[in-house]
Chains A and B, each alone.
Chain A
Amino acid sequence: MEGIFGNLAIGFIEVFKLQAITIAGMTMTLPFNIIMCLIGVLLGTLIGVLPGIGPVATIAMLLPVTFNLAPIAALIMLAGIYYGAQYGGSTTAILVNLPGESSSVVTCLDGYQMARRGRAGPALATAAIGSFFAGCVATLVVAMFAPPLAEVALKFGPAEYFSLMVLGLVAAVVLAHGSLIKAIAMVILGLLLGLVGTDVNSGVLRFSFGISEMADGIGFVTVAMGMFGICEIIANLEQKEHREVFTSKVGSLMPSKEDFKRMVAPILRGTLLGSALGILPGGGALLASFGAYTLEKKVSRNSHEFGKGAIEGVAAPESANNAGAQTSFIPLLTLGIPSNAVMALMIGAMMIQGIAPGPQVMTERPQLFWGMIASMWVGNLMLVILNLPLIGMWIKLLTVPYRYLYPSILLFMAIGVFSISNQPFDCFLMACFGLLGYVCVKLGCEPAPLILGFILGPLMEENLRRAMLLSRGDPWVFISPSKPISMGFLLAAIVLLVIIALPALRKKREMVFVEEK
């Protein structure tokens, strides 16, 4: 234990270290690392708020700028962009139903409903507080348990991933309220959309209709912004002057005592789940936010409020995605394996600085390793200090009239989608998904299960086929006693399925989750 605090002390000293910096001929003594951390989280918040522009593109563009910095300053800034984006992403999700980052899709569900009921302030505050708490805990987890957790991550092979995805898909059905059949239909539609693109095993193009822009599949941002953002705008334009209700009720900015009481347990559970799933390479952090929401909906006493602005529905996924963002550094720092595209870029940044990522970083360059971990904690503190006062400003956005707000949102979405691969085609595709989303709303089908199917489908297929290849076609590989983790997930999926499907229970489910429309 003392070792940990000793190490963290090394880290904090590194973060707060004063350095002589020469800017424009003037030499100043500044806590340079802290300043880089601040720049990182500010940038991260900004790109998180802007739809479509994600941390991957931002970090890639900034990489050349970081070459002239010391490795520690560069890494602190780049990491700040990554977890800063997780904070920023929830802001647009809550205010205008626009998931700025993939991990904030679930935040839309209840966050936006809270905003519609004039509780945008408490929703934003809950997201910030939940993220901060989760970030702190997850940073400690990284500091204390990184090496053993990395070993756990290695236990996840194709079979385990497949079974986890099955559990995730069954859980996707729980995300929806109302009709079970419609929820399943949306999950399946999402799965089909996820199949578009090049088949991993054979390299054959599927459902791309000869359009080369679709050869790599449909982008997540395109689907999410169409189904949530554009669809929401169309749906709102239907209702004249609905906006007054929206803004006149803007109540207190801070959560009430009751709110605080209700968010404690979800934040704790979300942090736990997020920290656990974050260490899995490949979509772990994303699954975390969906998983945390589903869990809350199942265990909460207020589960009837979910989808109508339950504070638990914001607290849990926001904590989970931030915890996941922190613990996803574990495979990178201990094994040198990137768990997502951002982490792959961090490896690039380290290698260009002449550092080979891996377990030796911890022993050979303790200042760098612990400095980075300490900076995560400091960065999270900065984010919460930064974001709480900003809430007042964000709320003002809600009073902007539709005729100004909507064209601006559309413009930002188009820029965001276009910036990903510079293809005008993607903007048209987003518009199509907007229409599809509108049709779905009219039919009483919800987009969240579709999005989850869309994300999980390709991962599930890939891992299923890889597991089958490795076992030379033996299907028992998923439930053999040598794979207890896989078997456990499948059993859990079956139990969840039975709970959802049992007619007696289903009646109760419909009663509980009936739509307010």
Chain B
Amino acid sequence: MQRLLVLIVLAAAASLAAAQPGPQSWPTRPLKLVVPYAAGGPVDISARLLAAKLQESLGQPVVPENRPGAGGSIGVELAAKSPPDGYTLVMSAIATLAINPSLYASLPYDPLKDLRHVTLLVQVPNVLIVANELPAKNVKELVALAKARPGKLDFGSGSTGSTGHLAGEMFKMVTGTFMVHIPYKGSAPALADMMAGRVHLMFDNLASALPSIKADKVRALAVTTKARSGFLPEVPTLDEAGRQSEAGLRGFDMTTWWGVSVAAKTPQAVVERLSAAIVKAMDAPDFKDRLRSMGSEAPLIRTPDEFASFVSSELKIYTELVKRSGAKAD
């Protein structure tokens, strides 16, 4: 009997040890990469690229799993509430980490307390584009036009509360102009209406706007990042425009970004190992090329701590912006 008891205790201890492996042994089983959006979008595509790379360097299968719904909340919540063992990763993004917390009346997770942010993967500039029919040839003329015709210009966006919408609200705020926001379902139909001249301007992410800009169907006036984009080297930044004429635009810096996060209590060693694997993937030339073709220059923010402080500063900026724009969802 006593022997049996000893055996049971030993077995229990062994199973405990198996359940909480040291970081050296992580990963011992397949990993899940939650994509909180439907298959096929840019976040999904980059997740699939990343999964293949991680699989090579971690030696375990990494399976992307789409869990769309509620603006990404369902998927992020799933990862935030999963066991903090580093086996459930999630593609977290500006929407789920910085915008939704103030856009939605209640979120099932706290973007800072419930998640450990591992690595920023992609940072895509937004670009200010105008319809070809619009006489404004630069930002200065656009602001003058908007001031001369208050409430007459329309700006489109992919959805209410999207980065395009909030960039537009920010632009209105700092330039003291008033334009009407026209939300669409995705930026493609908004682009189509702009090409036809029904909508005057739009802040769109570079990847989706680039083909139309290159085809001269719309005109790019400025990019929203601090530095010019390698894809549109001749297009100035809003910051530059701010230095020349509209002082309010100085320091304008808004990007669409996404990265990888895990549950908050994940062991530090696992987070570091994961981060190193992701950075290694990002440095691989073929992976870099693929991300570049999606409009993303390699982000400078790399370590888990840098990413975490980036998330909290973005959260602050967008909380303020969402409040001022009056956008909400419940």
- Give A residues with C-beta under 8 Å from B: 56-57, 59-61, 63-64, 67, 153-155, 157-158, 198, 200-205, 212-213, 215-216, 281-282, 331, 335-338, 341, 344-345, 347-348, 351-354, 356-360, 420-423, 462, 466, 469-470, 472
Given the known inter-chain contacts A157-B193, A470-B182, please indicate yes or no for A347 contacting B329, CB distance below 8 A.
no
B49 interfacial contact with A, CB 8 Å: yes
Q: Is the CB of B212 within 8 A of A358?
A: yes
The reply to whether A200 and B48 contact each other, CB–CB distance below 8 Å, is no
B42 touches A335 (CB 8 A): no
Which of B15-23, B63-71, B170-178, B310-318 forms part of the interface with chain A? B63-71
A216 vs B42: C-alpha distance when bound (angstroms): 19
CB pair B192–A421 under 8 Å, yes or no, is no
24 contacts between A and B (CB under 8 A): A60-B45, A63-B48, A64-B52, A158-B198, A201-B160, A203-B103, A203-B159, A203-B160, A204-B330, A212-B73, A215-B70, A337-B188, A337-B212, A338-B188, A345-B40, A351-B211, A351-B293, A351-B294, A356-B214, A357-B211, A360-B215, A423-B69, A469-B154, A469-B180
Query: What residues on A are CB-neighbors of B145 within 8 Å?
Result: none
Known A63-B45, A335-B215: A344·B40 in contact at CB below 8 Å: yes
B165-202 contacts to A, CB under 8 A, are: 180, 182-186, 188-189, 191-193, 195-196, 198-199
Query: Chain B interface secondary structure, helix, strand, loop or mixed?
Result: mixed
Q: Is the CB of B66 within 8 A of A56?
A: no
Chain B window 293-308, contacts with chain A (Cβ cutoff 8 Å), 1 for yes, 0 for no: 1100000000000000
A203-B159, A336-B211, A469-B154 given; name 13 further pairs at CB < 8 Å.
Answer: A61-B39, A63-B48, A64-B49, A203-B103, A204-B329, A205-B330, A282-B189, A335-B217, A336-B212, A337-B192, A422-B65, A469-B182, A470-B182
The reply to whether B196 and A155 contact each other, CB–CB distance below 8 Å, is yes
Taking each of A60, A64, A282, which has the highest tally of chain B beta carbons within 10 Å of its own beta carbon?
A: A60
Q: Is the CB of A281 within 8 A of B189?
A: yes
Shortest Cβ gap from B205 to chain A (Å): 12
Looking at the assembled complex, report how far the CB atom of B20 sits from the nearest CB atom of chain A, in whole angstroms.
Answer: 27
Q: B74 at the A/B interface (Cβ < 8 Å)?
A: yes
Q: A202-B160, A203-B161, A359-B215 are in contact. Are A212 and B189 (CB under 8 A)?
A: no
Say whether B83 faces chain A, with CB atoms less than 8 Å apart.
no
Complex-state Cα separation, A121 to B65, whole angstroms: 39
Is the pair A212, B70 in contact by a Cβ cutoff of 8 Å? Answer: yes
Asked whether any CB of chain A lies closer than 8 Å to the CB of B290, the reply is: yes
C-alpha gap A341/B188 in the complex (Å):
10
B280 at interface (Cβ–Cβ under 8 A)? Answer: no
Q: Is the CB of B193 within 8 A of A215?
A: no
Residue pair A352, B211 in contact (C-beta under 8 Å): no
Cβ of B207 within 8 Å of any chain A Cβ, yes or no, is yes
Q: How far is the CA of A213 from the CA of B70 in the complex (A)?
A: 7
A56 touches B40 (CB 8 A): yes
CA distance A205 to B183 in the complex (A): 16
- Closest-by-CB residue of B relative to A347 is B211
CB distance from B50 to the nearest CB of A (A): 10
Q: Is B240 an interface residue when CB atoms closer than 8 A count as contact?
A: no
A472 to B67, CA, bound (A): 38
Query: Are B65 and A466 within 8 A (Cβ)?
Result: no
List the A side residues contacting B150 at CB < 8 Å.
none
Contact flag A352-B294 (CB < 8 Å), given A60-B39, A358-B211, A422-B67 = yes
Chain A residue with minimal CB distance to B38? Answer: A421
